[in-house]
Amino acid sequence: MRRAQLKLFQNLIGRLSAHDLRPAQFSALAIIEQTPGLMQTDLAKALAIEPPQVVPLLNKLEERALAVRVRCKPDKRSYGIFLSKTGETLLRELKQIAVDSDLDSTSALDNQERHDLLRLLKKVYQS
């Protein structure tokens, strides 16, 4: 399983590098899209990283105008994270890149085998 994961991951890394992005940044954009306004600590939990590691990741996304931190009104010390329009546009493209990467990496499988693989991986993930 580890070898297969590495093959998939390397394929995706190669494709994301054309956009000067790393998989963690792509994942962060997707999580922010799913949960607009989430806090940095929530993003850290979703990415399974330590909260201090989120700061440089978000700084890079903000530098590229892909995400913005907005001060929360009730607690002015907290910031909600949102995708920018540029981030939304890029994420749509990145999602297609991820799909293409997965299809390319599993090209030796037919549609039923790919469906079965995804079903089984989901079962492993949820256990």
The pLDDT of residue 74 is: 72
Name the residue range of residue 6's domain.
2-126
The pLDDT of residue 124 is: 92
| Mean pLDDT for the stretch of residues 35-58 | 95
Dump pLDDT digits (tens) for 3-14. 988 989 999 999
Helix (H) or strand (E) holding 69: strand 67-71
> Does residue 26 sit in helix, strand or coil?
helix
The pLDDT of residue 71 is: 84
Compute the mean pLDDT over every residue in the chain, rounded to the nearest whole number: 93
Identify the CATH number of the domain in which residue 64 sits: 1.10.10.10
CA distances from 107 to 18, 28, 66 (A): 22, 27, 32
Dump pLDDT digits (tens) for 84-98. 999 999 999 999 999
Residues with Cβ within 8 Å of residue 87, at least 6 apart in sequence: 29, 32, 61, 65, 66, 67
Dump pLDDT digits (tens) for 52-85. 999 999 999 999 999 999 987 776 677 899 999 9
1/83 Cα distance (integer angstroms): 33
Residue type, 71: R
In the chain, the number of structural domains is 1
50/41 Cα distance (integer angstroms): 8
Contact assessment for residue 15 and residue 97, using Cβ atoms and an 8 Å cutoff: yes
Would you mind telling me the total number of residues written for the chain in this entry? 127
The pLDDT of residue 77 is: 73
Helix (H) or strand (E) holding 43: helix 40-47
Whether residue 28 has pLDDT greater than 90? yes
